Each structure stands twice: as C-alpha cells, then as structure tokens.
Structure 1
Amino acid sequence: MRIGCPKEIKPQEFRVGVTPNAALEAVNHGHEVVIETNAGLGAGFDDDAYRAVGASILDTAEEVFETADMVVKVKEPQAVERKRLREGQVLFTYLHLAPDEPQTRDLLESGVTAIAYETVTDRSGGLPLLAPMSEVAGRLAPQVGAWTLQKANGGRGVLMGGVPGVGPAKVIVIGGGVVGTHAAKIAAGMGADVTVLDRSLPRLRYLDDVFGGTFRNGYSSAGLLAELLPQADMVVGAVLIPGAAAPKLISRADLGIMKPGAALVDVAIDQGGCFETSRATTHHDPVYEVDGIMHYCVANMPGAVARTSTIALGNATMPFMLALADKGWRKACADDVHLLAGLNTHAGQLTYEAVGEALRIETIPAADALKV
C-alpha cells in the first residue's frame, strides 16, 4: 500500500501525521511511504529524517493525495483537502464530525473511507487514539488558563498558586476523564485550589482514592455549578461524549454570576464546545471576551507542543495504521471491532450513529459498510 502524509494546513498546526519511526515500520512491512516536503518541520523532523528510513518526499500536497491509497493526517481535512479525496481511498485522522456538517457532507460526497482517531475504541471502553492528545490538552489547559488570567491578557490578574498571605486561584474542572484528570493534576501542582466535577460516582471514587487530598471532587449538577461558579477564577471544560457534540454545561446567563476576568478554557471545542458562548479560536488569536469573561477555545491545543504531541500520537496510531496497510481496511476492521468503531464514512454513507443524530443524517451500521 502507498501511505501518504501531507503537511497540515490548519492555522498554527505544527504536528505531522506520520513520524519517521512510523514511516520506518511501514517500509519494513513492505509499504511505500510518501511525505509532502517539509511536512514534519514543525515537529522537528526534516525531509532527510524521512529519506533516511526509506520514505519518499513529494513536492506538493496534490501529489500526495493523488497517489496515496491511504492518507494519514492529524487534523480534519480542510475544504481544499476534501476536494482531493476520492472513493476507494482511506483517510485516517481526527475528524470530529458531529459539530461540522460541511466537512461531513464533503466526505460523503467524495466517497472516501474515513476512519476517525477519536472514535476508535479499546477493550476497556477507552479511546486509545484520543487519549494521548487528551493527556496533552489536559496538561496544557491550566497553563494556557493561567496565561489567560494575566491582567495584560484580559484576565483577573490572579496567580494560580497565590503567594504567602494571598490565596490561590480557584479552578473548576468539569469532567473527570483523561483531560480532566490531567488538568486537575497540573492545576493542583501549580498550587491552585481545584475541584473536579463528574457524573460518574465510580470515577469520583477513583479520583479520590488515587489523588486523595490533591484536589476535591463533586457530583456535577446545575445546582453545584451555580454554587461554585461565583467563586471560580478558571473553569476547564473537559466533557466528552465519544463522536457526539459536547453538551452545553455553562450558559451565557451563567457568565453573569462569575467574577469579571475569569477564564473559561474549553478543551471540548473540537466537538462543538461545552460552553454556550464557545467558538473555535487559533493559537494566533486564542482568547476573546464575552460579558467580561475570557474564553480560550483553541481547537488544536496540542499543536502548541507539536513535537511532544506528534510523537505521542504516532506511538498510538502506528499499530492501527500498519493493520490498515497490511490487511486492507475491510479485513483490518473485520478483524478488530475496536478499529471498526472508528469508521465514520464509506462510499458516500455515514457509518457513525452519534454523528448522524447530531446532524440528522441517515446512517448505516459500520459492519454493513464492510460489504459495500
């Protein structure tokens, strides 16, 4: 199989879909790997690093899309990239289709077989290809939130850890999954007063058992949020419903009870965001204000630490990429129900129910697509 990796063109996206190590594994499996020139520079991998492991360098993205049997990326294909996709081709990348009808319609029109990192599952019910970036984004959230809280950036002018005689910032993390856990650990490590909210009692018990008094936790409810929001300096939105649009947990009206200059960091923005007032921003212009509350809603947060993120993502995606290349997508998905869960579109049909529900598009079971 010919595996192609174009350079990411989403603004301020420096990651790359295939690392030199992954390219070497694919070449050793007998596959051809083609990389767009300079695709890896943002993550610290120059063209020679790919040539050294047997990959070929192509001059343009058009050549990569035109010749690749499988396109491996990081972010969802942009409009110009979607025009280059075709039926019979496999696209393996993050998609986040539920809040993005234009992308969904374009993928269906192209006929491409699109497998989304964020809906591939594992035996424990986890999301193994989302987890590395969730870890990165969770750890980044308090860092960018602390920056947003600085007065020069529009924030309250509050230091996360305080100083002797002055209390620390109060941080609420909504969601106790991978993102929320890592966000809470880092925020607490910065000295903040942290409370994690979740609706899973087993998860809350786990957090209490593992982290003890490092941070508090509570059962997430509208009543508890209403009690905590007036005290909060920062709120991290870390709620995920796999493949579906994120629920709106803080309304615009809620902003009125918050402290002026408080920071909202929406890590769920790829799935539409979990604050009513969220809209996607970029690293170039990451923060905006609504009703006196600062919003940080960068849709590709891990791109800020591109080398760490690229290597972490490559470690997770490589086994699945090799399975798709070695067996072909049909057999690879037939052999692995967890990889099959990643199938979102095939031959003009939508195969992921949560996306169909969000966008009101008819779906077929992913297993039925194996026969098409």
Structure 2
Amino acid sequence: MLNTNTKNLIKAINNKVIETQQYIHAKTSIEFLQNFEGVRSIGMMLLGETGLGKSTVLNKFESNNTERLATNSKCLVDYDFTALPILKFDMPEQPTLKNMCKAILEAASHPNITGTGSTLTNRVDNLIKHRQVQYLIIDECQHLLKEHGGNRTTEALNFIKNRMNEHKIIVIVAGIPTAEDAITKYPELSERLSYKKCYIRKFDIRTKESMTNFGSFLLSFQAIFAEHNTDICQLYETTMVHKLYLACAGSPRLFKYLLTNVIEAHAESKGTITENTFHKAYQQSQLNRYIGAFNPFSASIEKVKERISEWLTFEQNNADENKKINKTKRKP
C-alpha cells in the first residue's frame, strides 16, 4: 500500500503540465485564433502522435477561456442562459452525420439525442445559436479516414463545413497525423481549417537547442521529487538523459508512465531512487516498443546511443513510407 506522500507524488507527476517548446508553439497557435472571435469562421489543425500533449493543450485553452467568453456572451443578450462558448467532443469511430450530432449533443449534456439526421442537425444548430458556441473543438479526427466511416465520411465533413459557414464559429480539429490526410481529401473544408497547422512532435536531443528543451522538461520533474521530499538521481545528467530519452521514446506521456513505475518499484525501499531503480521498473514494463526487451538503464552509453540512432532511423523510414502511400492514394 502506497503512503500518502507517494500517492501525492504520483498525482503531482501525472498532473504536471510542462511548457516545452512544443507546448508553447501549440498554445500560441490556438491563442492567435482569438483575434477572429465573433468576426469570421476560421479553423486550424492540431496534429501529433498519441501522448504528445494535444489534449493537454486543448483542455488548458478551454479552462483558461471559458469564463471570459461566457461573460462576454451574456453581455450581448437580455435573457438568462447557460453559455457554452467552447464545445469539445471526440469524433465518433464511425463518423456518420447522426453519430457526430449525437456526440456534440452528449458533450453539451443535451437531454435529447435521438431523432433523424435532419432533426439532430437542427438541434445542434439551435444549441450553437442559443448557447453562444464560439469554438468547436473536435478531437480524434483520424476517425474521418474512410476505413472508419466509409463513404458516409463526406456527410460528417460537410456538416463541419456548413456549421462554420452558418455560425461563424472557430473550429479546431485534432488527431494523429493521418487525420490531416482525411481532411486534405476534402478541399472545401481543408481550406477552412488550414489557417493554422500545428504539429506537436516528440522530443529530440540531436541538437543543442532540442537537448536543452528536453533537459528543462526533466528538471521540472526533478523539482517535483524535491517538493515531495523524495531523493532521486540526477535526471539531467549526460548519460541519464540519453537513457531516459530512449526509454520513453521521446514521449511526455511515456515519461510520466516511467516515473510512476519507478516510484512504485521504490515504494518498499528507503534512500535515493537510483538508476538501478529505473532498471527494475523498466524491466517490468518496456515502454519503447522498438527496442523491445533492451533495457537502457543496464546498458553502456555507447549501446544506448547506438539504439537511439537505429530507432530514429526506423521512425524516419516509417514516416517516409507513409508519405509515399498517402501520395499514391491522392492520385486520381
């Protein structure tokens, strides 16, 4: 059973939001859209692999701006209502018109989510109008790919386009990189969502600037351990940096998982969390799928750097291959 301090430490790690270069770039891109509030419909794409912070950025934007937008909305009318200036929902796995309308209504806690596609569309339009929706944030947009929705995907894409035209709302679509391919195939919507394109990428340590960025990220977590009176080895140390980078595959989410596993592995021990603790934790749960059972925390720095090079080459080859496939698909 974990003690209270350990539980609080794990909670602090999982709740921590680090303003890395990637995070700041995404945050700034979204905040720039505020210039168009109530003026014109505009959109952006926020793309990145799972676990890189897309949802964190969007949730932070929602929490930081909902009250401001709601207050401004209420000043414009003379009747009482519950404003919903930012409406965020996940694209359904089967993105038909009805499923999409239901997802929006459910996200708004609407009491009635049944009816025909036309009925539900009218209900969504009334919701947007009467609750003064200004931002529509759509996550998991890779579900718009044809393998999910088939030919009916066009209905969902048309729905988004028409809501933008009719209500002058700002739309932010988010998803893994393949989401861009789904939207690009539909030029009428793609143009509307291309005002900003923001790609959140994994950490890199191949340049001085990128190493500093990852190092700042590590130091922020080092500070959390100090705040909870828990001693841990130096994370931003040349050898450890490379091992941590390889172990978490450059992913903020996987790094948090790693630290949680380390804390749990150390729960019954006393003294400092050492590299050996990381070794034990990683042995129980391998996070970087590419390196399999290879344990960075028991290998020499030379072997670790070698594996990093192999892994990054593998990732780049995969990315290049996917580009070729997508380019072929777009040909008439």
Tell which has more relative contact order, 1 or 2 (C-alpha 8 A, sep 6+). Answer: 2
Structure with bigger helix share is: 2
Q: Same fold (TM over 0.5)?
A: no
Give the structure-1-normalised TM-score: 0.32
Structure with bigger strand share is: 1
Give the structure-2-normalised TM-score: 0.34
